[in-house]
């Protein structure tokens, strides 16, 4: 076990190496060869140190969400969710996700530009039961419960999924869809 990777570069695991955690990663792409990008990203996730992909949902199409709301004119997204078992510390995993995004041509942006189209977007939806309000890595992801394109694929790959602090994904998705149709 590589202690430094498991402990985190900022030491966020204390001084002991951590056991594998179940991590939920959301993948999205709305530019370029979307399906190929997602498939390659899943392979790259599986090749990360101390990590294996335990499952991934069939990708689904969704309307692009911008700061102003859903944008039917923007290129549509292809989204999926992967389940990872990893001993990488949360901060280290996030750095690897950023490196995978960068390899697929994603330029990182701040502020409103964060909502623009991208070749690949990787978010940590949940890292075990870890809760964090650090803006650099908020856990669970603060917008996961509002996103059909996260909850749907997550439920497809794990029917018993629970979003820490929010409840069963099946219930959250049902509530979201009821709200959308009301």
Residues annotated catalytic, as ranges = 106, 118, 121, 123
Per CB under 6 A, the list member of 123, 147, 172, 173 interacting with ligand AMP is 123
Total residues at the site for ligand AMP (CB under 6 A)? Answer: 10
Q: What is the closest distance, in whole angstroms, from the C-beta atom of residue 178 to ligand AMP in the complex?
A: 26
- Using CB under 6 A as the binding rule, the residues of this chain from 9 to 38 that contact ligand AMP are none
Tokens representing 99 are: 């490196």
Q: Does 141 bind ligand AMP (CB under 6 A)?
A: yes
CA nearest 65: which of 127, 19, 117?
Answer: 117
Which position among 21, 82, 88, 139 is part of the footprint of ligand AMP (CB under 6 A)?
Answer: 139
Q: Can the peptide bond before residue 50 be classed as cis, meaning omega within 30 degrees of 0?
A: no
Q: Is 114 in the site for ligand AMP (CB under 6 A)?
A: yes
CB of 131 to ligand AMP, least distance (A): 11
Beta strands in the chain (DSSP E): 21-29, 51-56, 60-62, 64-66, 69-71, 77-86, 121-127, 132-134, 137-139, 162-163, 167-168
User: For ligand AMP, which is the closer residue by CB, 117 or 138?
Assistant: 138
Alpha helices by DSSP H, 19-161: 34-46, 90-103, 148-157
Q: What is the CA radius of gyration of the chain?
A: 16
Contacting residues toward ligand AMP, per CB under 6 A:
94, 114, 121, 123-124, 136-139, 141
């Amino acid at each position: 076990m590589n202690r430094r990777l498991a402990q985190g570069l900022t030491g966020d695991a204390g001084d002991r190496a951590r056991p594998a955690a179940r991590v939920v990663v959301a993948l999205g792409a709305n530019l370029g060869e979307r399906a190929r990008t997602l498939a390659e990203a899943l392979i790259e996730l599986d090749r990360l140190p101390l990590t294996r992909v335990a499952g991934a949902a069939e990708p689904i199409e969704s309307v692009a969400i911008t700061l102003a709301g859903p944008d039917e004119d923007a290129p549509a997204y292809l989204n999926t969710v992967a389940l990872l078992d990893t001993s990488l510390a949360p901060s280290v995993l996030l750095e690897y996700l950023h490196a995978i995004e960068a390899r697929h041509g994603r330029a990182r942006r701040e502020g409103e530009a964060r909502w623009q189209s991208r070749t690949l977007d990787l978010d940590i939806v949940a890292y075990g039961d870890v809760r964090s309000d650090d803006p650099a890595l908020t856990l669970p992801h603060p917008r996961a419960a509002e996103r059909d394109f996260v909850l749907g694929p997550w439920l497809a790959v794990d029917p018993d999924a629970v979003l820490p602090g929010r409840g069963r994904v099946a219930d959250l998705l049902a509530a979201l869809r009821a709200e959308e149709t009301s």
